[in-house]
Amino acid sequence: MKNLETIKLTQEFKQFCDIFNFTPEEVLQAFIDQVHIAQYMCFPLDPDRWANLFMMEYLLKYTDSEDTLRAYGEFGEKWVRIMEAGGNNVVEHTRKLLEDWHQSVLEDRINKIMNGESDDDQ
């Protein structure tokens, strides 16, 4: 990941923090702490959904990789089966599904690096 020290705070963000006496660090940390995609997917109307909603909207707006979108579709199909099965562990099963996808993505990236490929080669 890129160095987080390069994040530039907008004037509006700093103004919000100043008015309400928050530090930028605590606001950003609170946002980050609320990102829990498995929880959001299983309970989309949860009051703490806003950080997750932003992340999902960001995904839809800025992902231009056909492979990533195809993988997201495959993930969605597997997730639907989890939700259809129901039970008390839908969040845990969704979390495991996300972890498996994450592991697969990292392995694919390592393989591309080992083979001298880049994301631009696709």
The answer on pLDDT for 120 being more than 80 is no
Indicate yes or no: pTM above 0.85: no
Burial class (CB in 10 A: 0-12, 13-18, 19+), 41: buried
Mean pLDDT over each residue of the chain, to the nearest integer: 89
Is residue 96 very low, low, confident or very high in pLDDT (cuts 50, 70, 90)?
Answer: very high
Q: What is the pLDDT of residues 12-36, one digit of tens each?
A: 999 999 999 999 999 999 999 999 9
The answer on pLDDT for 1 being more than 60 is no
